[in-house]
Homo-oligomer: A and B are copies of this chain.
Protein backbone atom coordinates (compact mmCIF):
# COMPACT_ATOMS: atom_id res chain seq x y z
CA UNK A 1 0.00 0.00 0.00
CA UNK A 2 1.37 3.36 -0.99
CA UNK A 3 2.04 5.87 1.77
CA UNK A 4 2.57 9.48 0.88
CA UNK A 5 2.77 12.85 2.52
CA UNK A 6 0.08 14.41 4.67
CA UNK A 7 -3.57 14.37 3.69
CA UNK A 8 -2.93 12.48 0.47
CA UNK A 9 -1.71 9.27 2.09
CA UNK A 10 -3.55 6.27 0.72
CA UNK A 11 -5.56 4.57 3.45
CA UNK A 12 -5.43 0.78 3.50
CA UNK A 13 -8.82 -0.97 3.26
CA UNK A 14 -8.41 -2.32 6.80
CA UNK A 15 -7.80 1.20 8.10
CA UNK A 16 -10.68 2.84 6.26
CA UNK A 17 -13.84 3.70 8.16
CA UNK A 18 -15.92 2.17 5.36
CA UNK A 19 -18.54 -0.13 6.86
CA UNK A 20 -17.21 -3.71 6.81
CA UNK A 21 -20.35 -5.07 5.17
CA UNK A 22 -19.81 -2.66 2.27
CA UNK A 23 -16.07 -3.31 2.10
CA UNK A 24 -16.83 -7.03 1.84
CA UNK A 25 -18.78 -6.40 -1.38
CA UNK A 26 -15.92 -4.64 -3.20
CA UNK A 27 -13.88 -6.49 -5.80
CA UNK A 28 -10.86 -4.20 -6.07
CA UNK A 29 -8.30 -4.20 -8.89
CA UNK A 30 -4.58 -4.65 -8.25
CA UNK A 31 -4.39 -1.01 -7.14
CA UNK A 32 -7.25 -1.45 -4.65
CA UNK A 33 -9.70 0.51 -6.79
CA UNK A 34 -13.16 0.14 -8.30
CA UNK A 35 -14.56 2.15 -11.21
CA UNK A 36 -17.14 4.79 -10.33
CA UNK A 37 -19.56 5.85 -13.06
CA UNK A 38 -20.87 9.33 -12.35
CA UNK A 39 -24.35 10.11 -13.68
CA UNK A 40 -26.40 13.30 -13.43
CA UNK A 41 -29.35 12.10 -11.36
CA UNK A 42 -32.16 13.81 -13.28
CA UNK A 43 -31.04 13.92 -16.91
CA UNK A 44 -29.25 10.54 -16.57
CA UNK A 45 -26.32 11.91 -18.56
CA UNK A 46 -23.07 10.04 -17.84
CA UNK A 47 -20.66 12.74 -16.71
CA UNK A 48 -17.35 10.98 -16.05
CA UNK A 49 -15.66 7.89 -14.68
CA UNK A 50 -13.52 8.13 -11.55
CA UNK A 51 -11.74 5.64 -9.30
CA UNK A 52 -12.47 4.93 -5.67
CA UNK A 53 -10.75 2.90 -2.98
CA UNK A 54 -12.49 2.00 0.28
CA UNK A 55 -11.77 5.37 1.85
CA UNK A 56 -12.88 7.42 -1.17
CA UNK A 57 -16.15 5.46 -1.18
CA UNK A 58 -16.53 6.00 2.57
CA UNK A 59 -16.05 9.76 2.15
CA UNK A 60 -18.46 9.81 -0.80
CA UNK A 61 -21.17 8.00 1.18
CA UNK A 62 -20.78 10.03 4.38
CA UNK A 63 -19.85 13.54 3.15
CA UNK A 64 -22.33 13.74 0.30
CA UNK A 65 -19.56 15.00 -2.01
CA UNK A 66 -18.12 12.66 -4.64
CA UNK A 67 -14.54 11.86 -3.66
CA UNK A 68 -12.00 9.93 -5.71
CA UNK A 69 -8.54 8.45 -5.66
CA UNK A 70 -6.46 10.08 -8.39
CA UNK A 71 -4.42 7.42 -10.17
CA UNK A 72 -2.27 10.08 -11.84
CA UNK A 73 -1.63 12.31 -8.83
CA UNK A 74 -1.73 9.59 -6.16
CA UNK A 75 -4.05 11.45 -3.80
CA UNK A 76 -7.66 11.76 -2.70
CA UNK A 77 -9.62 14.51 -4.35
CA UNK A 78 -13.05 15.94 -3.77
CA UNK A 79 -14.50 16.82 -7.16
CA UNK A 80 -14.89 20.61 -7.34
CA UNK A 81 -12.70 21.30 -4.33
CA UNK A 82 -10.72 23.86 -6.31
CA UNK A 83 -13.04 24.59 -9.26
CA UNK A 84 -16.28 24.80 -7.28
CA UNK A 85 -17.83 22.31 -9.68
CA UNK A 86 -18.86 19.96 -6.90
CA UNK A 87 -21.01 16.85 -7.15
CA UNK A 88 -23.76 16.45 -4.55
CA UNK A 89 -24.32 12.73 -4.07
CA UNK A 90 -27.92 11.59 -4.47
CA UNK A 91 -27.55 7.80 -4.59
CA UNK A 92 -24.87 5.13 -4.93
CA UNK A 93 -25.27 1.57 -6.21
CA UNK A 94 -22.80 -1.27 -6.56
CA UNK A 95 -22.84 -3.72 -9.45
CA UNK A 96 -23.42 -7.47 -9.35
CA UNK A 97 -19.75 -8.40 -9.10
CA UNK A 98 -18.59 -5.50 -6.94
CA UNK A 99 -16.04 -3.92 -9.28
CA UNK A 100 -18.08 -0.90 -10.32
CA UNK A 101 -20.18 1.78 -8.66
CA UNK A 102 -22.93 3.96 -10.09
CA UNK A 103 -22.95 7.34 -8.36
CA UNK A 104 -25.90 9.59 -9.11
CA UNK A 105 -25.08 13.21 -8.42
CA UNK A 106 -26.25 16.75 -8.90
CA UNK A 107 -23.35 18.28 -10.80
CA UNK A 108 -22.61 21.96 -10.23
CA UNK A 109 -21.10 23.53 -13.37
CA UNK A 110 -19.28 21.46 -15.97
CA UNK A 111 -18.17 17.97 -14.93
CA UNK A 112 -14.98 17.95 -16.99
CA UNK A 113 -11.80 19.80 -16.12
CA UNK A 114 -11.68 20.91 -19.78
CA UNK A 115 -14.86 22.93 -19.20
CA UNK A 116 -17.00 20.55 -21.24
CA UNK A 117 -20.30 19.47 -19.69
CA UNK A 118 -19.09 15.86 -19.57
CA UNK A 119 -15.75 14.12 -20.02
CA UNK A 120 -17.23 12.11 -22.90
CA UNK A 121 -18.25 15.26 -24.78
CA UNK A 122 -14.67 16.45 -24.22
CA UNK A 123 -13.17 13.24 -25.60
CA UNK A 124 -15.69 12.92 -28.39
CA UNK A 125 -17.24 10.18 -30.50
CA UNK A 126 -15.45 7.20 -32.05
CA UNK A 127 -16.60 5.92 -35.45
CA UNK A 128 -19.04 2.99 -35.37
CA UNK A 129 -18.72 1.39 -38.79
CA UNK A 130 -20.92 -1.68 -38.44
Are B125 and A91 in contact (CB-based, < 8 A)? yes
Are A102 and B61 in contact (CB-based, < 8 A)? no
Contact bitstring A33-47, B, C-beta under 8 A = 1, else 0: 001010100011110
Task: Given A25-B123, A96-B122, A120-B93, answer yes or no on A130-B49 (Cβ-Cβ < 8 Å).
Answer: no
This chain's copy number in the assembly: 2
Give bound CA distance, A11 to B115, whole Å: 36
Chain A at the B interface: SS class: mixed
CB of A90 closer than 8 Å to a CB of B: yes
Q: Across the interface, which residues of B come within 8 angstroms of A78, CB to CB?
A: none
Are B130 and A61 in contact (CB-based, < 8 A)? yes
Are B129 and A100 in contact (CB-based, < 8 A)? no
